[in-house]
Structure 1
Amino acid sequence: MSQVSKFLKSQSVSVIGVPFSGGQPRGGVEEGPCRLVEFGLLNQIEELGWAVDYEGNENITALQPKEDPDTLNLKQPKYVSAVTQHVSKQIYQSAKEGKFVLTLGGDHSIGIATVSGVFGAYPNACLIWVDAHADINTPASTDSGNIHGCPVSFLAGIAGDHPDFAWVRPLLKTERLTYIGLRDIDAGEKKIIKDLGIKAFSMHHVDKYGIGKVVELALDHVNPNRDLPIHLSFDVDALDPSVAPSTGTPVRGGLTFREGHYICEAIAETGLLVAADIMEVNPTLEDTNSVYQTVQVGCSLARCCLGETLL
C-alpha cells in the first residue's frame, strides 16, 4: 500500500498507549488503550503493511504525586502535567524519527501531550479536532475544573499562566485549528471560539452540508494548499452514543458510523496525515455489547487513519 503521508520517512507507526483518567472524574477510561490492543489493533495495522512499535505506558500511575491540590480551579493539575509532559516526549521522539504516531487514550487531557509532541516535530502542522466538545475551556472559564475540557486552551496559549503547566509551549496557532462534530459547548467556550475566529463545524454544519463538504471546508481553512502535515485528534464521543456508547460524556445527535469513518478516510487520503489520537474509549461503561462495539469502532477508525479503505 502507498505511504499514508508525504511527510513520513518510513512505513512505520509508533502506537503509544496512555492508560490515564486523571483529566476527569470517571474511572475506566484508563483501560481504553489495552482493550484496543487486546482486540488485535496492532496486528490489524501490520496487516495494512506497517511496521509497528508499541509503548503501553503501563506504569504511568507511578507519576501520580502524593499531594495534588486544586490549583487555579483545575483538578489534579500536577498529575495531568506529569503524564502529559512524559508522553509528549515519547510522541515528539517518534514523530521526529518520521514515524506515524497513533496515540490511544485515556481521556482527552492527553491532547496536551499529543499536540505538544507532534507540533514540536512539525511546527507548521494543522490540527483537526473531532469531538462533541470543544475542550478549549481555560482555567478561568471551566465550571468543572476537569482538565480534559481544557487541553486546547493550553496548546493555543490562552490558558494564562498556570504553575503546573509552565512546560507547555503555545505551539498551536488558532488559524491552524478546526473542529468537526461539536454539539455540547460551554458558554465560555463559544465566546473563545467567536473571539479568536476559530473555524468550527458543529453537527448543524454536518446536517447542512454533509460530511464530505465539511471535511473539505475544514481542510480548506487549515491547509488550503494541501501542503502541511495534519494531526487528527478524534474523541469517540464525537460519534453518536448509538455508535460508540462506552464513553464518559456521551451526547445525543452525533456523527454516524460512516461519517466518523469518512473523516478518517478522507484525511488519510490527502497523504498529509502524520498523527492520530483515538481518545475517551471507556470499557467500564455500559454492557458487554456496547463495550465491544465501541472498541471495535476505535480500532476501525485507527485503521482508516492508516490507509484502510472500503475498496
Structure 2
Amino acid sequence: MKNQISIIGMPMDLGQSRRGVDMGPSAIRYAGVVERLEKLGYKIHDKGDIEIGRPGMAEAESDTNLKFLKAVTEANTKLASAVNDIVESGSFPLVFGGDHSIAIGTLAGISKHYDNLGVIWYDAHGDLNTSETSPSGNIHGMPLAVSIGIGHPALTNIADYCPKVKPENIVIIGARSLDEGERLLIRDKGIKVYTMHEIDRLGMTKVMEEAVKYLKEKTDGVHLSLDLDGLDPSDAPGVGTPVLGGISYRESHLAMEILEESKIITSAEFVEINPILDEKNKTAEVAVALMGSLFGEKLL
C-alpha cells in the first residue's frame, strides 16, 4: 500500500430509509482513525466530507421507483471526481460512509485507472438489485449491480463510462441475505460468492486465500468495499440492516490481516455505520480496528 492515505467522508443517507447513517464519517473520525493510521507510519490527508443535498422526503421521480435518484446521482458524481483526484495524486483512497450507495461513486472514480479492477464486497447482502427486483427502491441495495452496468442509466453512467467492474472480477464475502433477483443475477453473471455457509465450512483463512488467489491472477488492483453489516450484529450493532449469523470480529480481523499480507488492496471504503442505532460508538470503533489490521497493525 502507498504510504499516503487520503480520507473522504460521504455522509449519504438517501440510499436507504433509516436516518442516521449520514453521521458515520464523523463517528469513524471520533473513534480515532487518523491517529491510529498515523501511528502505523502513514501520512494522512483528510479531505473532509462531500456535501450532500437534502431533498424533501416527498421528492418524486417521474420515470422510476428509485428513491432520491437525482440526489444520489449528484452526490456520487461529486465523490467520483474527488476519488479520481486522489488516485491521480498517488495517494490511497479511503472513503467513509454513509450508506452503501456511495460505492457507486467510489468505483466510478477508481476503476478508470485500472484495466481490470477487482472488488471484494464484504457484506451480508449482494447489493445486486435493480429497480425491477428491489423490494424497497432503496439504492443502497443496488451499487454492485450499477457498477457492473445494470441499472438506471443515471447511475451506471456516472463519470461517463460503463461498466466499472467486470462480474468475474468480483468476490462477495459474508453473504447471508439475498433477494431472488440477486440470486439469479449471481448465477447468470458467474459472480464468485462466499456465503456464511462457505465461511463456516472452510474457515476464514481458506476463504480469503482463495479470494486473493482468484483476484490476483486476473486484476491489476483491488477495491475493498466493507459494509459493517457483514459482521454479526453482536459485534457491529450500529447498522441499518443487521442480519443474524454474520462474520465475527476476530474472523474479520483475520480477513483484513490476510488482505494486508497479500498487498492487493489499492483502495477501500467502510460503510453503513449508524451511530443512532449503535452502542457507545462500538461499530465505528470496530471499523477503525479493522482498518488498523488492513493497514498493517500487528500485535507483536
TM-score normalised by L of structure 2: 0.94
Q: How far is 1:15 from its partner?
A: 0.7
Residue 222 of structure 2 corresponds to 230
State which of 107, 124, 127 in structure 1 corresponds to 2:119. 127
Query: Which letter maps to 2:186?
Result: I
Contact persistence 1:123–1:171 (CA under 8 A): no
Q: How far is 1:124 from its partner?
A: 2.1
Residue 236 of structure 2 corresponds to 244
1:216 aligned onto 2:216: no
Q: How far is 1:272 from its partner?
A: 2.0
Question: CA offsets, 1:97-133, max 9 Å, x none?
Answer: 2211111100000010111112122232210000000
- Distance in 2, matches of 1:164 and 1:222, equals 25
Q: How big is the alpha-carbon RMSD for the aligned residues of Structure 1 and Structure 2?
A: 1.7
- 2:8 is paired with a residue whose SS is strand
Contact persistence 2:223–2:268 (CA under 8 A): yes
Question: CA offsets, 1:167-202, max 9 Å, x none?
Answer: 352120001101000000001100100111100000
State which of 163, 166, 176 in structure 2 corresponds to 1:170. 163
1:151 aligned onto 2:143: yes
Contact persistence 1:21–1:107 (CA under 8 A): yes
1:47 aligned onto 2:39: yes
Query: Which letter maps to 1:188?
Result: G
- Distance in 2, matches of 1:84 and 1:184, equals 25
- Distance in 2, matches of 1:121 and 1:163, equals 21
- Distance in 1, matches of 2:67 and 2:39, equals 41
Query: What percentage of residue pairs aligned between the two structures are identical?
Result: 37
- 1:310 is paired with a residue whose SS is coil
CA distance 1:216–1:175, change in 2 (3 Å): same
Residue 292 of structure 2 corresponds to 303
Contact persistence 1:285–1:291 (CA under 8 A): no
Query: Which letter maps to 1:207?
Result: D
1:13 aligned onto 2:12: no
- Distance in 2, matches of 1:250 and 1:108, equals 14
Question: CA offsets, 1:53-93, max 9 Å, x none?
Answer: 112226x13x3457842342210000110111101111111
Q: Identify the range of structure 1 (38-47 vs 147-156) with the bigger mean alpha-carbon deviation.
A: 38-47
Q: How far is 1:165 from its partner?
A: 5.1
Contact persistence 1:174–1:196 (CA under 8 A): yes
- 1:56 is paired with a residue whose SS is strand
Question: CA offsets, 1:217-239, max 9 Å, x none?
Answer: 112222227x6211100000000
- 2:285 is paired with a residue whose SS is helix
Structure 2: where are the runs of 5+ without partners?
none
Residue 265 of structure 2 corresponds to 273
- 1:181 is paired with a residue whose SS is strand
CA distance 1:100–1:163, change in 2 (3 Å): closer
Contact persistence 1:68–1:79 (CA under 8 A): no
1:200 aligned onto 2:197: no
- Distance in 2, matches of 1:123 and 1:88, equals 17
Contact persistence 2:27–2:281 (CA under 8 A): no
Q: How far is 1:310 from its partner?
A: 2.8
- Distance in 2, matches of 1:129 and 1:121, equals 19
- Distance in 2, matches of 1:88 and 1:163, equals 14
- 1:78 is paired with a residue whose SS is helix
Contact persistence 1:281–1:294 (CA under 8 A): yes
Residue 32 of structure 1 corresponds to 24
Contact persistence 1:104–1:278 (CA under 8 A): yes
What number of residue pairs does the alignment pair up?
296
- 2:291 is paired with a residue whose SS is helix
- Distance in 1, matches of 2:55 and 2:241, equals 26
Contact persistence 2:156–2:163 (CA under 8 A): no
- Distance in 2, matches of 1:28 and 1:262, equals 29
Contact persistence 1:175–1:222 (CA under 8 A): no
